[in-house]
Amino acid sequence: MPDQKVVRREDLPEIYRKAGDASARSQNLFLVWNLINIAALTLAALVSALKGWLHSGGAAAGAVLLAAGAVMTFWLRKSRYERRWYRSRAVAESVKTLSWRYMMRASPFAGGSLQDEAQAAALFETFVHDIADQEAAPVPKTHEITGKMKEVREKTPAERAEIYVRERFEPEREWYDTNSKKNSRNGDRVLLLAIATQIIACGLAVIQIFHETPDFVGVFATASAGALAWMQAKRYEDLAQAYVTAAKELSRIGSTVIPAAISDAGLSRFVLDAENAISREHTLWLAKRV
């Protein structure tokens, strides 16, 4: 079935697309390097436990893995992938919110006369450049208001309301609802893994009291610490709580019946309520990473 969306990703400002791509790229690098670091340290613990069989080669391999882990920890700190991730996302989401408010003629982008339209466009450009300046993001030389944004803005209030609910409001509400549950489940799974590896480490330590066995306690203890570090990197609990709050707020706002003959003022109030709820989640998300 062909995509029937009126406003697609390429119809939003270039700075939104570039910031979104930069955020996804930095997030992937940050998480991949964290995962490799955890794997290297866990493997180093395993090599150390098997050094009796591996002899001098095991000691050398363990030293190399530990050194690699130290280098990756330093690299993660210096590369600032996490900071780039959330700063770029802040730019992308802020510009996206402004774009929808502009298209819906929501405050402060109300229009009407040619003079009002010119002022709204100038204000939009100013806001976008201010966001870019605050986050040290590059601003494209082209105008940020696309032809599609102008086209949607020229539609009737009822047409704009239908587009907003279908292509912005409902997808956001469903996304927050789905991802709050997803993060909660994933957080529970990783926590269970951390607890399970701790219990195994404890059991092995008890066994060693009575029997001489290979020392795998450190392996499972390191694996448990790695699972906890992964939970911290992914922020499962924080995200689950922030997302469920946003989903509930949007559901409350969505329970309002939009009149078929909605006015510009009525649509503006609805859009502002929805965008403020979405922006609150972004603000909380950012604050917990500063």
Structure tokens at 112: 């009407």
Say yes or no to pLDDT of 208 above 60.
yes
Q: Which amino acid type is present at position 2? A: P
Confidence band (pLDDT; 50, 70, 90) for 286? Answer: low
Q: Please report the pLDDT score of residue 156 as a whole number.
A: 94
Question: How confident is the model at residue 99, as a pLDDT?
Answer: 96
Under DSSP, the state recorded for 105 is T
pLDDT in tens, 103-160: 999 989 987 666 788 899 999 999 998 888 776 666 665 667 999 999 999 999 999 9
Query: Residue 96 pLDDT > 80, yes or no?
Result: yes
Higher-confidence residue: 139 or 259?
A: 259
Could you read off the pLDDT of 29-80 as tens digits, one per residue?
A: 999 888 888 888 888 888 887 766 666 565 677 677 778 777 877 777 777 8
Rounded distance between C-alpha atoms, residue 177 and residue 182, angstroms: 9
The pLDDT of 225-250, averaged and rounded, is 90
d(CA 178, CA 172): 10
Q: How many CB atoms lie within 10 A of CB 202?
A: 13
| Residue bearing the bigger pLDDT, 49 or 253 | 253
- The mean pLDDT of 253-282, rounded to a whole number, is 87
Tokens representing 30 are 């940050």
pTM, 2 dp: 0.85
Domain ranges, ordered by start, for the chain: 12-152, 155-290
Phi first, then psi: give them for residue 137, nearest 5 degrees: -100, 145
Of all residues in the chain, what percent carry a pLDDT higher than 70?
Answer: 88
CB atoms under 10 Å from CB of 210, counted, come to 7
Q: What is the pLDDT of residues 183-205, one digit of tens each?
A: 999 999 999 999 999 999 999 89
Q: In this model, does residue 289 exceed pLDDT 60?
A: no
Least confident segment among 56-65, 205-214, 280-289:
280-289
